[in-house]
């Protein structure tokens, strides 16, 4: 239970100190530090600072690639090394790769999707799905498995003592535009922010001295800029962890076809399912994608037959079991 509380605390504030976390959980800072180090080694726990694509007005694209079995691993590794991919995973028998790519609204999406993909004759097919509405996960907010802390504990850990609400869901304004919610001005990154975010993508708890060295700023400027980015919503923290450590052995990606009139309702329902860690509406032949994490495949069967099948408007569900995360959050590190 304490391990899950620490992970939840880090999702509330990825840079919270051991003393702060210990005070909220009622244990010593030494205990928190010791358990955190053990979680890093045994559960792959890593805090990552991420640019918020919603507040920055970026487009997010789900790429689905099918390749020959011998090319899946090198292709996935090449995609993972790209700075514009947020995560990369191998699914379904080792011949399917899915990845999430992000690009600023002014960038050339044709170049990203058609010309920058690694060239290989054994790449069988590529489909691209633009995420047009986020329901749960990532920058939108934590999934329902984050239930280890009370509301009072979360408020005590939140920066400035006030839990910031998740940013409103991002909706695409039209077929060729992307941006933050209507009436909201996208946040613009300043010179030096890229270097700051690059370090945080490897280690969200990097010290101010390391961040100052990377940006060339004084530490006081680093502290101020990080506060500004966090308060504006342009920067958020997430926690990378191996789900199996907490008893979840069946991660599955769902591609769902929903009647358009029921898409919002189905997405809202999925956001209320504790098995769902990510869900978004997309363009394409399937119009909703979701990541489901269950304790085992028998539990996934029950979820599929008892919960998804009962949602009005769901016409078709395609499931792809996860084999391996090549890139889960932030930059790829040597440990991965």
For the chain of 336 residues, list the mean pLDDT of each consecutive stretch of 10: 90 92 95 94 88 87 89 88 86 88 71 60 84 84 68 84 41 35 69 91 93 95 93 87 79 95 96 92 94 94 93 95 83 48
Q: What is the pLDDT of residue 90?
A: 93
Question: Can you tell me the distance from the alpha carbon of 1 to that of 21, in angstroms, rounded to the nearest whole number?
Answer: 14
pLDDT at 131: 93
Instruction: Identify the pLDDT of residue 328.
Output: 79
Please list the alpha-helical segments (H only) found in the chain: 2-12, 18-25, 29-42, 53-56, 69-80, 109-110, 151-157, 193-202, 208-215, 219-232, 263-271, 297-303
pLDDT of residue 26: 95
Q: What is the pLDDT of residue 123?
A: 80
The domain defined by 247-322 carries CATH number 3.30.70.920 = yes
pTM for the structure as a whole: 0.80
Instruction: Retrieve residue 313's tokens.
Output: 């408007």
Q: pLDDT tens across 243-273, in order?
A: 777 778 899 999 999 999 999 999 999 999 9
67: CB partners within 8 A, 6+ apart? 75, 95, 97, 120, 122, 123, 124
Query: What is the rounded distance in angstroms from the CA atom of residue 11 to the CA atom of residue 94?
Result: 31
CB 284 within 8 A of CB 301: no
Q: Backbone phi, then psi, for 106, in 5-degree steps?
A: -85, -5
| Architecture of the CATH domain 2-48+146-163 | Orthogonal Bundle (1.10)
Q: Where is 236: in which H helix or E strand? A: strand 235-240
List the chain domain ranges.
Answer: 2-48+146-163, 247-322
> What's the full length of the chain, in residues?
336
* Residue 98: closest CA among 251, 302, 233: 251
Q: Which two tokens stand for residue 154?
A: 């979360």
């Amino acid at each position: 239970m304490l391990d899950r509380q620490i992970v939840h605390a880090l999702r509330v504030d990825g840079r919270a100190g051991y003393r702060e976390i210990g005070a909220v959980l009622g244990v010593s800072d030494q205990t928190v530090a010791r358990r955190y180090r053990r979680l890093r080694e045994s559960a792959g726990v890593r805090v990552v600072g991420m640019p918020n694509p919603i507040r920055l007005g970026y487009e997010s694209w789900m790429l689905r690639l099918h390749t020959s079995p011998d090319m899946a691993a090198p292709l996935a590794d090449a995609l993972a090394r790209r700075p514009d991919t947020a995560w990369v995973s191998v699914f379904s028998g080792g011949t399917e790769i899915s990845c999430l790519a992000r690009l600023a609204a002014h960038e050339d999406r044709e170049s990203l999707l058609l010309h920058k993909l690694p060239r290989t004759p054994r790449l069988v097919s590529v489909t691209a799905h633009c995420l047009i509405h986020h329901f749960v996960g990532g920058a939108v907010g934590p999934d329902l498995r984050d239930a280890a802390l009370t509301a009072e504990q979360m408020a005590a850990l939140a920066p400035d003592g006030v839990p910031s609400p998740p940013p409103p869901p991002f909706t695409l304004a039209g077929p060729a535009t992307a941006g933050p919610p209507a009436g909201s001005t996208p946040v613009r990154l300043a010179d030096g922010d890229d270097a700051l975010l690059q370090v945080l993508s490897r280690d969200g708890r990097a010290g101010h001295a390391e961040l100052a060295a990377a940006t060339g700023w004084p530490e006081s400027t680093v502290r101020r800029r990080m506060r500004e980015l966090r308060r504006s919503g342009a920067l958020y923290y997430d926690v990378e962890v191996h789900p199996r450590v907490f008893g979840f052995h069946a991660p599955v990606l769902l591609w769902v076809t929903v009647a358009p009139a029921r898409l919002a309702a189905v997405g809202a329902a999925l956001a209320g399912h504790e098995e769902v860690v990510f869900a978004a509406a997309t363009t394409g032949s399937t119009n909703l994608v979701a990541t489901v994490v269950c304790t085992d495949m028998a539990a996934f069967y029950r979820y599929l037959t008892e919960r998804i099948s009962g949602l009005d408007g769901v016409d078709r569900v395609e499931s792809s079991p996860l084999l391996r995360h090549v890139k889960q959050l932030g930059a790829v590190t040597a440990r991965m």
